[in-house]
Structure 1
Amino acid sequence: MQRTFLLAKIHNCTLTAANLDYIGSISIDRTLMDAAGILPFEQVQVVNKANGERLITYAIPAPANSGAIELNGAAARLGMKGDTLIIMTYAQFTAEELKEHSPTVVLVDENNRIVTVNHYGQLLEEAVN
């Protein structure tokens, strides 16, 4: 059996733009994607803390160290510049794979600069043992 768990999260990032006429997705500063382990075109869930909207789309890299977090296409209607977002990825794991899994959580400041990168393998290890 496989179960779905958090793979990575960028927590409390700030939406820097909403581009309705851009081809759909969410653009994320490449530095943040790399820190979280999010790959280009990987499926992400986006939660907008300002309005409660949730959406699933895919990530595309914005220039590294730009601080850019941009909702594109139809998703642009679900947020406004300045909104606080949480961006998450999930993966499916077998019981054996789960023993080695450590979710990554990237915490950022108001300019979308990395404050800290946390790994939560210990919490998961305690839960599965």
Structure 2
Amino acid sequence: MIKVVRAKLHGITVTGADLNYHGSITLDPEICAQAGIYPMEFVEIWNRNSGARISTYVIFGEPGSGCCILNGAAARTCQRGDVIIIAASEYTTPDRLYTLKPRILTFTAGNRVDRVLRYDVFKGPDRAFDFRTLDITAGEDAAALEPVPILD
């Protein structure tokens, strides 16, 4: 088994940090639904401003609010305004990589979804596992034929 990314929120902005809350990250459930992230699911969080990396679980906040609030001990790793990456993962076998279709959301100011991307693993001409990122913002059928640049 290998651990792979299943869903990702790339470049979401922290809207709050509540040290006195009893743990977790509070996220807008509409954003989570679009990416495929579930309540109580453990996620990894990478702070692009500080380099901090943590793991915690998701709880849902106010729908449509764009909230991204670090709670409890996690609040020490992120400040309001920090830009973070949140990744949900799963364990699978390498042969199943061809059927996984992780969704990646990117964000504008105010934590509004800017683009919807999908990671795609396929058998390439020179290797068994090749990789590309597809822009599916306009829907799965409108996926770019050319790979879009990988975001860092």
Task: Tell me the TM-score normalised to structure 2 length.
Answer: 0.79
Aligned to 2:7: 8
Runs of 4+ more than 6 Å apart = none
**Larger Rg belongs to:** 2
CA offset digits 1:72-103 (Å, max 9, x no partner): 00110111100001000111112332221112
Aligned to 2:47: 48
Q: Percent identity?
A: 36
Aligned to 1:104: 103
Partner-residue secondary structure (3-state), 1:40: coil
Letter aligned with residue 110 of structure 2 = N
**Structure 2: stretches of 5+ with no match in the other structure:** 131-152
Q: CA deviation at 1:32?
A: 1.1
Query: How far apart, CA to CA, are the structure 1 residues paired with 2:129 and 2:92?
Result: 12
1:70 corresponds to 2:69 = yes
Query: How far apart, CA to CA, are the structure 2 residues paired with 1:96 and 1:64?
Result: 37
1:125 corresponds to 2:85 = no
Q: CA deviation at 1:117?
A: 1.2
Query: How far apart, CA to CA, are the structure 1 residues paired with 2:58 and 2:7?
Result: 13
Letter aligned with residue 11 of structure 2 = N
Alignment RMSD, CA only? 1.3
**Structure 1: stretches of 5+ with no match in the other structure:** none
Give the total of aligned pairs. 126
Aligned to 2:138: none
Aligned to 2:57: 58
Partner-residue secondary structure (3-state), 2:70: strand
